[in-house]
């Protein structure tokens, strides 16, 4: 379970009401049962449930199970989609190890809203499920061009672009310099506009990437790119 409190031996930690519901009604756990906790900083801890009721649960920490490992430094930039597709991208990007998820507004982005609480809750649930020990930040929506104008050029940006002369993802990721942080950008359902492509191509830190001969839905493209990154570039 993800909590925000500090984790150390002997600490008693409170759970959210959703977590209490999950412990009590889904897992049917009771006082004395073991659970594991993480907070993104102090590693993974084994605790035992002190008590669990409707809307509350508390856990006493016993011992550390895993140290906090350094997370991969890979951002995912994507244009927000319909609600369920956005949820899917956040869930899968968390499972596939993205360290930061940045919804970006492009000229053809159809939805300009993203419920921050829901996005954060989706990332927490996915992190708990896949047993990573941190939760990726899901930022507020950023305007793509403004966001890239402030970009730290040390971070390489791989732009998934289905048309044109992009090299295959396997070739591009295999050539990634592992000491440089990276980000992957996925366009909206309608694709990038010519103006955006020209803007992107003017940046020294971008490399276009092809994910194969078929046009993928944006959510499929996000998952495919992240899965390729994980298999080629490691963690
Ligand atoms: N009609 C749009 C077009 O032709 O530009 C299709 C956009 S596609 C549904 C949504 C996004 O997924 C694209 O902007 C791109 O980032 C990514 N994508 C889809 N298929 C891809 C592929 N084969 N290679 C690389 N990126 C792809």
Paired with 160 in beta bridges are: 209
Query: From the CB of 218, is ligand 1 less than 6 Å away?
Result: yes
Pocket test for ligand 1, best of 106, 184, 193, 215 (most atoms within 8 A of CB): 215
CA of 207 to the centre of ligand 1 (A): 15
CA-closest candidate to residue 209, choices 148, 168, 181: 168
C-alpha 97: how far from chain center: 6
CB 208 within 8 A of CB 165: yes
What are φ and ψ of residue 19, in 5° steps?
A: -65, -40
What residue ranges in the chain does DSSP mark as E strands?
12-14, 34-38, 44-53, 56-66, 74-78, 100-105, 137-138, 142-143, 156-160, 167-168, 182-186, 206-210
Pocket test for ligand 1, best of 221, 224, 228, 229 (most atoms within 8 A of CB): 221
The number of beta carbons lying within 10 Å of the beta carbon of residue 123 is 22
CA of 99 to the centre of ligand 1 (A): 23
CA-closest candidate to residue 64, choices 9, 131, 1, 5: 9
CA of 176 to the centre of ligand 1 (A): 22
> Is the predicted ipTM greater than 0.85, yes or no?
yes
Tens-of-pLDDT digits for all 235 residues of the chain?
Answer: 999 999 999 999 999 998 999 999 999 999 999 999 999 999 999 999 999 999 999 999 999 999 998 878 999 999 998 888 999 999 999 999 999 999 999 999 988 788 999 999 999 999 999 999 999 999 999 999 999 999 999 999 999 987 677 899 999 999 999 989 999 999 999 999 999 999 999 999 999 999 999 999 999 999 999 999 999 998 6
Return the SS3 of 62: strand
pLDDT given for residue 235 in this prediction: 67
Name residues whose C-beta falls within 8 Å of residue 97's C-beta, 6 or more positions apart in sequence.
Answer: 71, 72, 74, 132, 226, 230, 235
Complete domains list, the chain, with CATH? 12-66 (2.40.240.20), 74-233 (3.40.1280.10)
């Amino acid at each position: 379970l993800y909590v925000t409190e500090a984790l150390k031996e002997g600490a008693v930690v409170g759970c959210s009401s959703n977590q209490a519901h999950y412990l009590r009604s889904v897992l049917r756990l009771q006082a004395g049962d073991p659970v594991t906790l993480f907070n993104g900083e102090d590693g993974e801890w084994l605790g035992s449930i002190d008590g669990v009721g409707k809307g509350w649960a508390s856990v006493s920490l016993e011992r550390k199970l895993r140290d906090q490992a350094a997370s991969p430094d890979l951002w995912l930039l994507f244009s927000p989609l319909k609600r369920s597709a956005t949820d899917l991208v956040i869930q899968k990007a968390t499972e596939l190890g993205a360290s930061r998820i940045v919804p970006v507004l492009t000229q053809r982005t159809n939805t300009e809203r993203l419920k921050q609480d829901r996005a954060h809750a989706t990332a927490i649930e996915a992190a708990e499920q896949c047993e990573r020990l941190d939760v990726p930040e899901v930022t507020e929506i950023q305007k793509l061009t403004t966001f890239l104008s402030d970009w730290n050029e040390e971070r390489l940006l791989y732009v998934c672009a289905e048309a044109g002369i992009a090299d295959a993802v396997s070739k591009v990721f295999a050539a990634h310099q592992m000491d440089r942080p990276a980000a992957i950008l996925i366009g909206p359902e309608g694709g990038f506009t010519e103006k955006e492509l020209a803007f992107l191509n003017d940046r020294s830190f971008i490399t276009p990437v092809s994910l194969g001969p078929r046009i993928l839905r944006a959510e499929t493209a996000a998952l495919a790119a992240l899965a390729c990154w994980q298999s080629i570039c490691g963690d």
